[in-house]
């Protein structure tokens, strides 16, 4: 097999599409709760909105991943997915009725569900077994740079135009539109034979679990166990706030974390190809445990800043690596289904994790929440170390 030692044109285009889309989304991330409250949303309604949107995205990832594999096509799903996410941005500023906001937010998350499996399958096809970490790492680096640019643009805009939230939704449409135009430069290069399937039901991807390789099931069980305790980054930011940092500094720490993540994902992906994806992933879990134990036992703002640096390295060591790992142990014809199924379950687990963390925080406080997560992560490290073997197919 020809070894791909370069970043192909397709990977560059797909990475730029992700960068511009994430820039658009992250421009709105810091102000979304503030905007929703300003148009009459209660905290409870905001929680219901976000929960519904994420659940929709999660469930649809598996379905559209399987649909992509069945159809033998990738690019149409990528274009449609990014297109829906782009048009959802101005939609949220046109009307302020709760049902309309729910619809616009659902369109955005539905777009993510449509594109995820197909996009990651394209990345997998553009790499060899020996370069999966590099390719997925490069994509994560580019995507996460959007999470740096977006909040920076939003902060700069709100500095000059405070409380002009609606206009920011229209501004966010610009990078989203650039991403859509860039997606039309993509072409389906690798011929995948369409499967003879009469109909693909919404939950048909669940059947893949029964037919998937045993190694896939063992790996995903471990990944999902971790996802069940990997709560939203909001809790880390709340801890920073609790330590006495003001709102601006908290947002700056969030930007700093994403910058570290973006800078490290590509080189760590290359290194993972050399030492093994499993070793890199376990290294990332160790860093995650350090961060959560640290958050449980410190109130020092400087130490918290250092923990966010480590947290950025953790994200770079795991998020792209996990998908690269899955793609290496799944049949090529099922790549989108395999990644989509995992991503779908992961989204549901993330919702449960945040709910559980919120309950622990309310009942026992922040320190207990972080300590329990750290202990659980150590148990998951043991599982990966002794019960998961990494063999490619």
Q: Which residues contact 12 (CB under 8 A, 6 or more apart)?
A: none
Tokens of 39: 């148009």
* Separation CA 124–CA 328 (nearest Å): 8
Q: Which residues contact 94 (CB under 8 A, 6 or more apart)?
A: 100
User: How does pLDDT run along the chain (393 residues), one tens digit per residue?
Assistant: 344 467 999 999 999 999 999 999 988 876 777 777 778 877 667 666 777 777 777 788 888 998 999 888 999 999 999 999 999 999 988 887 888 888 888 898 889 999 999 999 999 999 998 999 999 999 999 999 999 999 999 888 888 888 788 899 999 999 999 999 999 999 987 666 656 555 666 666 778 888 888 999 999 999 999 999 998 887 898 888 888 888 778 888 989 999 999 999 999 999 999 999 999 999 999 999 999 999 999 989 899 999 999 999 999 999 999 999 999 998 888 899 999 999 888 888 888 888 888 888 888 988 999 999 999 999 999 999 998 876 665
* Separation CA 385–CA 320 (nearest Å): 19
Angle between helices 132-160 and 98-125 (to 10 degrees): 150
**Domain spanning 9-187+206-387 has what CATH number?**
1.20.1250.20
CB atoms within 10 A of CB 247: 10
* Separation CA 287–CA 270 (nearest Å): 19
What would the pLDDT profile of 209-242 be if each residue is shown by its tens digit? 888 889 999 999 999 999 999 988 878 988 888 8
């Amino acid at each position: 097999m020809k070894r791909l030692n370069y970043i192909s044109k397709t990977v560059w285009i797909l990475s730029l599409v992700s960068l511009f889309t994430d820039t658009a989304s992250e421009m709105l991330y810091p102000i979304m709760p503030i905007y929703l409250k300003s148009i009459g949303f209660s905290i409870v309604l905001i929680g219901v909105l976000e929960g519904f949107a994420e659940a929709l995205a999660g469930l649809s990832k598996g379905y559209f991943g399987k649909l992509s594999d069945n159809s033998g096509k990738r690019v149409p799903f990528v274009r449609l997915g990014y297109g829906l996410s782009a048009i959802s941005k101005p939609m949220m500023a046109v009307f302020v009725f709760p049902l309309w906001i729910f619809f616009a937010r659902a369109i955005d998350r539905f777009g993510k569900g449509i594109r995820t499996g197909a996009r990651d399958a394209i990345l997998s096809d553009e790499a060899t077994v020996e370069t999966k970490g590099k390719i997925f790492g490069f994509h994560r680096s580019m995507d996460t740079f959007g999470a740096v640019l977006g909040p920076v643009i939003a902060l700069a805009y709100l500095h000059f135009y405070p409380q002009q939230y609606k206009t920011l939704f229209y501004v966010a449409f610009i990078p989203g539109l650039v991403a859509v135009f860039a997606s039309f430069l993509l072409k389906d290069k690798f011929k995948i034979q369409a499967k003879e399937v009469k109909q693909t039901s919404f939950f048909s991807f669940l059947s893949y679990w029964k037919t998937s390789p045993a190694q896939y099931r063992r790996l995903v069980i471990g990944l999902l166990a971790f996802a069940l305790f990997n709560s939203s980054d909001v809790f880390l930011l709340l801890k920073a706030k609790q330590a006495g940092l003001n709102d601006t500094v908290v947002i700056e720490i969030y930007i700093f974390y994403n910058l570290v993540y973006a800078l490290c994902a590509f080189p760590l992906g290359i290194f993972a190809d050399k030492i093994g994806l499993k070793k890199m992933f376990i290294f990332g879990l160790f860093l995650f445990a350090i961060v959560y134990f640290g958050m449980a036992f410190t109130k020092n703002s400087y130490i918290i800043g250092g923990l966010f640096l480590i947290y950025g390295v953790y994200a770079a060591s795991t998020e792209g690596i996990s998908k690269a790992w899955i793609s290496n142990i799944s049949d090529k014809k099922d790549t989108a289904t395999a990644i989509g199924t995992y991503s779908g379950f992961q989204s549901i687990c993330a919702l449960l994790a945040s709910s559980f963390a919120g309950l622990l925080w309310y009942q026992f406080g922040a320190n207990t929440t972080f300590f329990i997560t750290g202990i659980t992560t150590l148990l998951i490290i043991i599982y990966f170390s002794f019960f998961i073997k990494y063999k490619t197919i």
